[in-house]
């Protein structure tokens, strides 16, 4: 499925609505614009298997470009617009982009990229001029609106968040099918698991360069639903949009839940969220107390999945099942979970280890980095892959995450996973955000250190530090207690909610 399949039934209905500007793009407009951009790219020599990079803020134009790439057999790489020019240039160069499209709102970075990305042959800008770039709108406007006869399906080639190192390009095989033929995993999941269809109104509060928002928005459009895109997340504004557009489906990261829950009760009660049928969350572990609070507020509509940009595996859990197994991220619906020790041996049920997903074939590779690809593979089973997460399964196959290998703290010879401590800190009403890291210690090797962002109006002082430690004592083992509490105005999170601990 793709948006053009709905022209006979929904030609003038909105495929995209931008939350702040109100800009609306109908299914007919989305189809026409994507065809014209596809033809403009082909006219400039892009062929199936070539790479297109896009540097853009959250705009409706992103979907015109996305579907142009998908109907041209291209690899599409969205570049995080928060990166510096040098960081962006690394991704554009590493992905082998033959063409680069830049949002005029990012004109300064776009201009800086010209000398840094000499391999790019074609540069387009949209919504305004950028020196050294063609006008995408003008180039597309002169193209025919009739779809080409041959429309091989493309694929996204997105980059990891870079929370534990330099971003890695995740390259799948191109699908061997035409744009209108079924076979997309995310689209099938949205249809079968969450009931997405023409009546769906989906709220996307996250950046479109990230895998989950981009793929989910595209899946909703492919199934004939409407996507409402926030230009940037704001907790109260999100609630207002749910009421205004009668949102039926939404997707969040736990940090967004925390910010909405921290709104004053009278503000939360001001908005009608009863239209919501499904609220999905993913991208980062959700503290149990936070999820319980959201279920109490929105009802049993929360659905959680655990996966990655690599899409090497997938688990899903709905509210009733989660309430029976609090903290689980669900059971596998794509791949088979294997939990292994550092040597690669499978561990017993209930034992913490590295999480692998067993597949019939290798589901991805890291672009230009065979060593990282090999490091993600099990030493004895090449089609078992991991993204570095650690956890365990219970005797019913429910997966529980504990942390990432790279976040492990070894203090006094004991392994300590920070997530449990972070979840306990976030349960304190004076904490807006928290991270736990290991700092060098001459005696212990590493000492457990909490870095805390207090809620607005709360002083980060010795009294609060003492209160937090008192709060933790009955909740975690003594050896896990932080030796130090450090306060910061903000913590380094990506816009998709992932904590960048290497920056701490």
111 close to 88: Cβ distance less than 8 angstroms: no
pLDDT level of residue 284 (50, 70, 90 thresholds): confident
Of 5, 461, 29, 367, nearest to 171 by C-alpha is 367
> How many beta carbons lie within 10 A of that of residue 462, not counting itself?
9
Beta strands 399-404 and 389-393: pairing type? antiparallel
Beta bridge partners of 318: 303
Is a pLDDT exceeding 90 seen at residue 403? no
> What DSSP designation does 489 have?
S
Average pLDDT, whole number, for the chain? 93
Q: What pLDDT score was predicted for residue 165?
A: 59
Q: Provide the percentage of residues in the chain whose pLDDT is more than 70.
A: 98
Residue 416 has pLDDT above 60, yes or no: yes
Residue 111, CA distances (Å) to 54, 232, 335 in order: 14, 24, 43
Q: How far apart are CA 204 and CA 217, in angstroms?
A: 7
C-beta of residue 483 within 8 angstroms of C-beta of residue 419: no
Q: Name the CATH superfamily for 408-503.
A: ANL, C-terminal domain (3.30.300.30)
Handedness of CA 28, 34, 37, 43 (dihedral sign): negative
Provide the β-strand partners of residue 79.
55
Q: Are 59 and 20 in contact (CB under 8 A)?
A: no
Q: What is the pLDDT of residue 407?
A: 78
In terms of Cβ atoms closer than 10 Å to its own Cβ (0-12, 13-18, 19+), residue 242 is buried
**Full-model pTM:** 0.84
Q: Which of 184, 226, 228 is nearest to 206 (CA)?
A: 228
What's the mean pLDDT in 407-415?
76
User: Quick one: tokens of 159?
Assistant: 């980059």
Q: Beta strands 249-252 and 24-26: pairing type?
A: unpaired
**Pairing between β-strand 122-126 and β-strand 365-366 as defined by DSSP bridges:** unpaired
**Where along the chain do its domains lie?**
3-228, 408-503
35-66, pLDDT tens digit by residue?
A: 999 999 999 999 999 999 999 999 999 999 99
How far lies 217's CA from each of 69, 150, 202, 209, in Å?
15, 24, 8, 11
Domain 3-228 sits in CATH at 3.40.50.12780
**Cβ atoms 315, 332 nearer than 8 A:** yes
The pLDDT of residue 317 = 97
226-249 pLDDT tens trace: 999 999 999 999 999 999 999 999
**What does the pLDDT average to over 279-300?**
92
Q: Are 91 and 366 in contact (CB under 8 A)?
A: no
Q: Is the pLDDT of residue 162 over 70?
A: no
**3-class SS at 330?**
strand
The Cβ-side half-sphere exposure at 433, using a 13 Å CA radius, reads 18
Residue 496 is predicted with a pLDDT of 65
Mean pLDDT of 374-400: 94
Binned at pLDDT 50, 70 and 90, residue 286 comes out as confident
Provide the pairing of β-strand 278-281 with 249-252.
parallel
b/e code 158-183 from CB counts within 10 Å (16+ = b): bbbbbbbeebbbbbeebbeeebeeee
pLDDT band per the 50, 70, 90 thresholds, residue 318: very high
Q: What is the DSSP letter of 388?
A: S
Cα 172–Cα 69–Cα 41 angle in degrees, nearest 5: 130
Are 429 and 456 in contact by the 8 Å Cβ rule? The answer is no
For 202-233, the pLDDT digits (tens) are 999 999 998 999 999 999 999 999 999 999 99
Report pLDDT for 180: 93
Ramachandran angles phi, psi of 400, nearest 5° = -120, 130
């Amino acid at each position: 499925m793709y948006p053009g399949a709905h022209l006979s039934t929904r030609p003038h209905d909105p495929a995209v609505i931008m939350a702040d500007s109100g800009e609306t793009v109908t299914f007919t407009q989305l189809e026409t614009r994507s065809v014209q951009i596809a033809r403009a790219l082909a006219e400039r020599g892009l062929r199936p298997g070539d790479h297109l990079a896009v540097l853009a803020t959250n705009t409706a134009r992103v979907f015109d470009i996305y579907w142009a790439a998908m109907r041209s057999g291209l690899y599409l790489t969205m570049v995080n617009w928060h990166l510096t020019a040098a960081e962006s240039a690394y991704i554009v160069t590493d992905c082998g982009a033959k063409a680069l499209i830049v949002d005029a709102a990012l004109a300064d970075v776009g201009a800086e990229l010209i000398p840094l990305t000499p391999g790019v042959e074609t540069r387009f800008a949209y919504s305004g001029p950028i020196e050294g770039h063609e006008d995408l709108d003008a180039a597309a406007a002169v193209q025919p609106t009739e779809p080409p006869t041959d429309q091989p399906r493309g694929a996204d080639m997105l980059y990891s968040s870079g929370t534990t190192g330099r971003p890695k390009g995740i390259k799948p095989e191109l699908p061997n099918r035409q744009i209108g033929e079924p076979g997309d995993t995310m689209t099938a999941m949205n249809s079968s698991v969450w009931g997405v269809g023409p009546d769906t109104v989906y709220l996307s509060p996250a950046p479109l360069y990230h895998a989950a928002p981009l793929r989910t928005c595209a899946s909703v459009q492919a199934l004939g639903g409407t996507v409402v895109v926030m230009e940037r997340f704001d907790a109260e504004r999100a609630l207002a949009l749910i009421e205004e557009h009668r949102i039926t489906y939404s997707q969040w990261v736990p940090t967004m839940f925390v910010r909405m829950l921290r709104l004053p009760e009278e503000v939360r009660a001001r908005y009608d969220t009863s239209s919501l049928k499904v609220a999905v969350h993913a991208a980062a572990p959700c503290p149990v107390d936070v999820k319980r609070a959201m279920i109490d507020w929105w009802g049993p509509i929360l659905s959680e999945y655990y996966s990655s940009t690599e899409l090497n595996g997938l688990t899903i859990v709905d509210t009733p099942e989660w309430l029976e197994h609090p903290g689980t991220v669900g059971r596998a619906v794509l791949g088979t979970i294997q939990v292994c020790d550092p040597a690669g041996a499978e561990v017993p049920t209930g034992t913490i280890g590295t999480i692998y997903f067993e597949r019939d074939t290798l589901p991805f590779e890291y672009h230009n980095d065979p060593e990282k690809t090999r490091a993600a593979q099990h030493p004895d089973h090449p089609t078992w892959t991991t993204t570095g997460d650690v956890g365990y399964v219970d005797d019913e196959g429910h997966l529980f995450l504990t942390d990432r290998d790279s976040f492990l703290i070894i203090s006094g010879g004991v392994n300590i996973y920070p997530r449990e401590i972070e979840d306990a800190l976030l349960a304190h009403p004076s904490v807006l955000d928290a991270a736990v890291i290991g700092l060098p210690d001459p005696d212990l090797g590493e000492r457990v250190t909490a870095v805390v962002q207090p809620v607005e109006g709360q002083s980060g002082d010795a009294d609060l530090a003492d209160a937090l430690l008192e709060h933790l004592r009955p909740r975690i083992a003594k050896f896990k207690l932080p030796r130090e509490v450090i306060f910061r105005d903000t913590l380094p999170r990506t816009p998709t909610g992932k904590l960048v601990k290497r920056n701490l």
